[in-house]
Amino acid sequence: MNSKFSITRRAVLTGTAALALVLPAGMALAGNVKVAAIYTLPVEQQWISRIHLALNAAKDRGEIDYVFSENVANTDYERVMREYAEQGVQLVVGEVFGLERAARKVAADYPETAFLMGSSFGAVAPNFSVFDNWIHEPSYLSGMVAGAATESNVIGMVGGYAIPEVNRLMNAFMEGARAVNPDVKFLVNFIDSWYDPPKAKESAFAMMDAGADIMFAERFGVADAAVERGVKAVGNVIDTSGDYPNTILTSALWHMEPTIDRAIAAVAGGTFEAADYGQYSFMGYGGGSLVVDKTLVSAEVLTKVEETEKSIMEGMFRVNVNDERPVSDK
């Protein structure tokens, strides 16, 4: 019997508000869609790995021709975008959090190329669509697990940067923990890096020294510290429980397939529109889910989590979206 409880993923794709069309409606492309992705970090990094996984799945199905560039510096990003557009790539995927203006200028110069970019801002007609990992719902559920599990009533949280995309997940986690344990307190720190495991590990150790017995591992390195100290951890975006057995209580997972598949279908059908694809990361669209290790979490807690998940999926419970920087309790 599988020792993990995994919330069912449902891919239900419905319409989204359109701003403009890249191609005339009905002008479908011939052959596979040519897709290029531009990543500022290695494809192994958790956030980027989810995009890469979804694109590889579409490639394996024979729907796209897929190439990518990783470890692209912000100073080179605009150049790489232009190179792919000049090569006739039909869909460019990536993240532009640090270079919004430059990326949007490139998209404006290539109106017949579809762009789908991780962004903190809005879509721009005719061809610049945006997305983000809106997994605040499973993050709330993971917080419920952590809040019930802590014995010291102190939870440590180590994040990368205090940007809305990270803040909303951490705030949802905190809210979920408080829902089951009003006495829980939080220690919060940002390492100002997307990938610095030693720094994240050092921050985690300091929190454990201050009494934290559960760690929210938004960055790599935190779970390693948890293993060394024998405390539990909560994962984010990907499931790392196999790498850290008997340590990861639960993880809020991001699934990019609903977003990527919808964009590919739109480009192939000549109906790609500048739109915000963020909603397709919601649990109701199959873009987010929760995995829980049943060997580490009680049946009573699992029942509460399942009941809340059911309410979310039925539209009867809405997790708050709070983009403000989370802070430690005094």
Number of alpha carbons in the 13 Å side-chain half-sphere of residue 37: 27
Residue 173 lies in a domain: yes
Residue 24 lies in a domain: no
> Of 131, 163, 196, which closes a domain?
131
One domain for residues 70 and 170: no
Pairing of strands 248-254, 288-293: antiparallel
One domain for residues 204 and 310: yes
One domain for residues 141 and 244: yes
Rounded mean pLDDT of 266-288? 96
Q: What is the torsional sign of CA 225, 242, 9, 281?
A: positive
pLDDT tens-digit series, residues 60-91:
999 999 999 999 999 999 999 999 999 999 99
Contact 221, 227 (CB under 8 A): no
One domain for residues 148 and 125: no
- Measure the CA–CA gap between 123 and 128, rounded to whole angstroms: 6
Peptide bond into 126 cis (omega under 30): yes
Residue 254 has pLDDT above 50, yes or no: yes
Percentage, residues of the chain above pLDDT 90? 87
Residue 22 has pLDDT above 60, yes or no: no
Residue 325 lies in a domain: no
Residue 241 lies in a domain: yes
> Of 114, 131, 148, which closes a domain?
131
One domain for residues 197 and 251: yes
One domain for residues 108 and 194: no
Rounded to a whole number, what is the distance in angstroms from the first to the last CA of the chain?
Answer: 44
Identify the domain containing residue 296 by its residue range. 135-255+285-314
Residue 27 has pLDDT above 80, yes or no: no
pLDDT tens-digit series, residues 166-191:
999 999 999 999 999 999 999 999 99
H or E element in which residue 205 lies: helix 197-209
Residue 132 has pLDDT above 70, yes or no: yes
The domain tally of the chain equals: 2
Can you give the CATH number for the domain in which 82 is found? Answer: 3.40.50.2300
Q: Average pLDDT over the chain, rounded to whole?
A: 91
Residue 271 lies in a domain: no
Residue 44 has pLDDT above 60, yes or no: yes
Name the band, by pLDDT with cuts 50, 70 and 90, for residue 29.
low
One domain for residues 82 and 146: no
H or E element in which residue 136 lies: helix 136-149
One domain for residues 73 and 198: no
Residue 139 lies in a domain: yes
- Measure the CA–CA gap between 128 and 207, rounded to whole angstroms: 41
One domain for residues 299 and 187: yes
Residue 167 lies in a domain: yes
pLDDT (0 to 100) of residue 120: 87
Q: Other CB atoms closer than 10 Å to residue 22's CB: what's the count?
A: 25
One domain for residues 172 and 79: no
One domain for residues 148 and 114: no
> Of 104, 131, 158, which closes a domain?
131
Residue 122 has pLDDT above 90, yes or no: yes
One domain for residues 127 and 161: no
Q: Which of 17-21, 43-47, 129-133, 234-238 shows the lowest per-residue confidence on average (mean pLDDT)? A: 17-21
Residue 262 lies in a domain: no
